Amino acid sequence: MTTYAIIGGTGLTQLDGLTLKQAQNIDTPYGAPSAAVLRGEYAGHEVLFLARHGHPHRIAPHQVNYRANLWALKQAGAEAIFAVNAVGGIHAAMGSGHLCVAHQIIDYTWGRAHTFFDGELEHVTHIDFSFPYDEELRGRLIAALQALGYAHSIHGVYGATQGPRLETAAEITRMERDGCDIVGMTGMPEAALARELELPYACLALVVNPAAGKTNGTISMAEIEAELERGIGKVRAVLGHVLGA
**In the complex, minimum distance from the CB of residue 60 to ligand HPA, in angstroms, rounded to a whole number:** 11
Using CB under 6 A, which of 12, 78, 137, 183 touches ligand HPA?
183
Q: Is 167 in the site for ligand HPA (CB under 6 A)?
A: yes
Number of residues engaging ligand HPA in binding (CB under 6 A)? 12
- Residue whose CB is less far from ligand HPA, 42 or 158: 158
Maximum alpha-carbon separation in the chain: 54
Instruction: Please give the backbone phi and psi of residue 202, each rounded to the nearest 5 degrees, phi first.
Output: -140, 160
Q: Residue 160 and residue 162: Cα distance in Å, rounded? A: 7
Q: Residue 226 and residue 151: Cα distance in Å, rounded? A: 18
Q: Work out the end-to-end distance of the chain between its first and last CA atoms, rounded to an integer number of angstroms.
A: 12
**Is 181 within 8 Å of 153 (Cβ atoms)?**
yes
Q: Which of residues 89-128 bind ligand HPA (CB under 6 A)?
A: none
Site string for ligand HPA, 203-222 (x = CB under 6 A): -----xx-x-----------
Using CB under 6 A, which of 13, 65, 69, 161 touches ligand HPA?
161
**Identity of the residue numbered 227:** E
Q: Which stretch binds ligand HPA (CB under 6 A): 16-24, 82-90, 93-101, 105-113?
A: 82-90
Alpha-carbon separation of residue 177 from 1, 81, 86 (angstroms): 42, 30, 22
Using CB under 6 A, which of 86, 100, 105, 180 touches ligand HPA?
86
Angle at alpha carbon of residue 192, lines to 166 and 93, rounded to 5°? 50
Q: Which residue's Cβ has the minimum distance to ligand HPA?
A: 88
DSSP-assigned beta bridge partners for residue 51:
8
Using CB under 6 A, which of 184, 189, 231, 240 touches ligand HPA?
184
Q: Is 7 in the site for ligand HPA (CB under 6 A)?
A: no
Task: Give residue 4's Cα distance to chain centre.
Answer: 14
Using CB under 6 A, which of 48, 137, 185, 204 touches ligand HPA?
185
Task: Provide the binding-site residues for ligand HPA, judged by CB under 6 A.
Answer: 86-88, 161, 166-167, 183-185, 208-209, 211
